[in-house]
Structure 1
Amino acid sequence: MSATGCRGPAWAVIAGGGTGGHIYPGLAVAEALADAGRAELHFVVSRRRLDSEVVAAAGFAATGICARGFQRRIAAANLRAACALACGVWQCWGVLARTSPKVVLAQGGYVSAACAIAARLRGVPVVVLEANAVAGAANRLSARWAKACATAFDGTALAGAVRTGLPVRAAIARMHPDSPQGTAGGEARSAARAALGVAESRRLVLVTGGSQGSRRLNAAVDGACALLEDRSEVTVRHLVGQAGANQAPSPPSEDPHRGLHYQRLAYEHDMPAALAAADLVVSRAGGSALAESAAAGRAAVVVPMAGASADHQVANAAALAAAGAAVVIPESELNGQRLATEITDILGDPARLEAMQAAAARFAQPDAAGRVAALLIAAAGERSLP
């Protein structure tokens, strides 16, 4: 069933925003709910323009609210964050009053915390979706009154946690080898490469630091590309994000016929195609990035962000590495030489690359969106459609 936006009464409100990792899992759940006959959905997001644009492109209505993260220390900024949270709760109260949902999905972050608090005050059931191995503060709060807590990893410390896996977009879930609508074959890969301008003869390394980007990762990629400039069998598709959008590119070559082929983009508007075309993914260790690369069955080199809340990216990366699907580079060890070495070693060993890809597919939960949708339907006191 195709998804349709809801500007009146909604069956569910899906809350989360500020990063792609707090948007795309909710969109995947929305697709599953629409397929289950519950397409009247409304999103609550941050005021970041990209949030509303991504949700609108998927066919759903969204309301942007006040949201600001708290500092993990005594700071004047926390007073502003508290005021923003109170404002956000008030705005969410209005959204819930207008849409009268049967259930709220809280995806983590302070957008979802505001909506979960408003839902608690209005008596609307809440289901928590935690993307990381270590739960964030917002979800730890919301879990206190949630009907259910869906997690991406085993062992996440939330009351009543059920590992569903992290939902990914349907177009990515279909790449999984076990998908009945599988698009992981050579024909889909060839079509994706043609669309991206990548030759069939090349190995494609997809690099992403998330929608906001990572200056540290971008610098390491520039250094690695300089060392790999003679590798005519490799293409690097580098998504620099907001952090690198205004930086002058420094590729060794943008010529697809000479040496390393380098593509530089601020944002990838067709991530399913990019993953379909890729052989290896280099990324941060956010839950959404890892879930998407695993669902697509792609080997990964992951660089956990140092200083992330409760070191959740370190825990995420460790889980994927333990499954045999990833190599981890600590941020303190990240530089062009180390990154170039890891890329060369993996791409230069076809058996190892294939084993990592198979391990990624085993780690993935391609039916996660349906599992989370089932929890929402149960929390709303309804039965799933046959």
Structure 2
Amino acid sequence: MADARSVLLAGGGTAGHVNPLLAVADELRRRDPATILTVLGTTQGLEARLVPEHGLPLAPVPRVPLPRRPSADLPRLPANLRAAVRAAGKAIDESGARVVVGFGGYVSTPAYLAARKRRIPVVIHEQNARPGLANRLGARWAAAVAVTFDGTRLRGAQLTGLPLRAPIADLVAERARDADAARAAGAAELGLDPALPTLVVTGGSSGAASINAAAAGAAADLLAAGVQVLHLTGIGKAEPVQAALAGVPGSERYHVREYLTQMQHALSVADVMLGRSGAGTVCEQAALGIPAVYVPLPVGNGEQRLNAADVVAAGGGVLVEDDDLDADWIRTHLPVLLVGDEAPATRARMAAAAASVGVRDAAARVADLVEAQLRTRP
């Protein structure tokens, strides 16, 4: 028999799917610790590590990517999908789930299909401005559809924003209580000077060669202006940046790291961010009210440009094409945001604009949709 408080959450493969899932799981568990939560995921994706670390059971499902174009995987798709749907159905049955919550990606498709077969309601959350294949399918019969960005085209979409992972939600609260103390604590963790205007450069865990090259090329000018830089290069990509700093005056203020697990520390000290515009990045920075220069990934379906559209339109960020970002662009545009008499007022206006479109309670909004389905189930 289904348990009155049992929920199956489906999402995996990337942090973009796993982090919102864990944020909603935290909110459901906070509201009622007796809620039974089960996560459907693969044994290869990021969820295989993060979900058990979070104290949640992981029900495995085979990885079944939906090919966007003809490929060698296409003939095997029907059999592979059937196996995945069976695994998802088994997880629903064994957990007694009364609601399935999907966050997109290849894990969600079998969950949606298995839930539909059992007439169990589905709640969907779409992270990106341009929805993926799984959520476009599931939205056709979902009981509720939550979206991160206004204008996302899914049937029955309700704007909730992106559920913030716990360290970022905690930082939002800390900054609201005492922004200076939060900045000082983050700076201490990173070995930075909290009194200096700080630029944080990042291309994500894998880095971005174009952003790395542009920032490193402008390092001398940034340092000469009195800026402090924290540059997260991506795994295995620090050496060219470090080489560019050789002999540059003030290079002790240009801090190079490959990766930062506790990204909240970087966000706590950032006066300006420079990086890609993945949905998580945009939403976290907007929720925190951090002015940003967004450089959309130049490949893919263009979703990163759309992700940044609202915050840029509000005046909380600047969008620069990857081809246009170089050392000259940084020399021209970034020092004026960081140093000089007008810089603090400019940043304050951008911060307020970013915060005006940022959503800080998205996990609660999505949890409300889940709770509504739990209440309506017999």
**TM-score normalised over the length of structure 1:** 0.86
Partner Cα distance (1:283, 1:64) in 2: 34
Q: 1:43 aligns with which of 39, 43, 46?
A: 39
Residue type at the aligned position of 1:129: H
Q: Secondary structure at the residue paired with 1:356?
A: helix
Q: 1:137 aligns with which of 133, 139, 160?
A: 133
Q: What residue number does 1:367 align with?
A: 361
- Structure 1 233/155 Cα, relative in aligned 2: closer, same or farther at 3 Å? closer
Structure number with larger C-alpha Rg = 2
Residue type at the aligned position of 1:33: L
**Structure 1 vs Structure 2 CA RMSD:** 2.9
Partner Cα distance (1:69, 1:211) in 2: 22
Q: 1:199 aligns with which of 188, 193, 213?
A: 193
Return the offset for 1:68. Answer: 4.6
1:153-189 deviation line (CA, Å, top 9, x unaligned):
112111111111111024323444xx59935511111
Q: What residue number does 2:231 align with?
A: 237
Q: 1:321 aligns with which of 299, 312, 318?
A: 312
Residues 46-65 of structure 1 correspond to what in structure 2 (within 5 A)? 46-48=42-44, 50-65=46-61
Which has a greater percent of helix? 2
Q: Secondary structure at the residue paired with 1:282?
A: strand
Q: 2:321 aligns with which of 315, 330, 338?
A: 330
Residues 173-322 of structure 1 correspond to what in structure 2 (within 5 A)? 173-176=169-172, 182-183=176-177, 185-225=179-219, 228=222, 230-240=224-234, 244-245=235-236, 248-251=239-242, 252-253=244-245, 258-259=250-251, 261-309=253-301, 311-322=302-313
Q: What residue number does 1:377 align with?
A: 371
Residue type at the aligned position of 1:28: A
Query: 2:62 matched to 1:66?
Result: yes
- Structure 1 376/68 Cα, relative in aligned 2: closer, same or farther at 3 Å? same
- Structure 1 49/159 Cα, relative in aligned 2: closer, same or farther at 3 Å? closer
Partner Cα distance (1:357, 1:96) in 2: 44
Residues 161-176 of structure 1 correspond to what in structure 2 (within 5 A)? 161-176=157-172
Query: 2:142 matched to 1:150?
Result: no
Return the offset for 1:288. Answer: 1.3
- Structure 1 68/265 Cα, relative in aligned 2: closer, same or farther at 3 Å? farther
Count of matched residue pairs: 370
1:106-163 deviation line (CA, Å, top 9, x unaligned):
1111112222222222222111101122222211111011100111111211111111
- Structure 1 107/49 Cα, relative in aligned 2: closer, same or farther at 3 Å? closer
Q: Secondary structure at the residue paired with 2:359?
A: coil
Partner Cα distance (1:81, 1:335) in 2: 43
Partner Cα distance (2:337, 2:152) in 1: 30
Q: What residue number does 1:93 align with?
A: 89
**TM-score normalised over the length of structure 2:** 0.87
Q: What residue number does 1:357 align with?
A: 351
Higher mean C-alpha displacement, 74-83 vs 152-161: 74-83
Partner Cα distance (1:261, 1:312) in 2: 34
- Structure 1 333/129 Cα, relative in aligned 2: closer, same or farther at 3 Å? same
Residue type at the aligned position of 1:346: L
Higher mean C-alpha displacement, 341-350 vs 322-331: 341-350
Residue type at the aligned position of 1:280: V
Higher mean C-alpha displacement, 230-239 vs 356-365: 230-239
Higher mean C-alpha displacement, 185-194 vs 261-270: 261-270
Query: 2:29 matched to 1:34?
Result: yes
Q: Secondary structure at the residue paired with 1:185?
A: helix
- Structure 1 233/281 Cα, relative in aligned 2: closer, same or farther at 3 Å? closer
Residue type at the aligned position of 2:103: Q
Partner Cα distance (1:50, 1:225) in 2: 34
Q: 1:344 aligns with which of 335, 339, 361?
A: 335
Residue type at the aligned position of 1:368: A
Partner Cα distance (1:10, 1:80) in 2: 36
Partner Cα distance (1:65, 1:220) in 2: 42
Higher mean C-alpha displacement, 189-198 vs 166-175: 166-175
- Unmatched segments (≥5 aa) in structure 2: none
Residues 119-138 of structure 1 correspond to what in structure 2 (within 5 A)? 119-138=115-134
Q: In percent, how many aligned pairs have the same letter?
A: 35
Return the offset for 1:81. Answer: 5.6
1:323-369 deviation line (CA, Å, top 9, x unaligned):
11110011232333324433323223221111111111111111111
Partner Cα distance (1:260, 1:46) in 2: 43
Q: Secondary structure at the residue paired with 1:202?
A: coil
Q: 1:102 aligns with which of 74, 83, 98?
A: 98
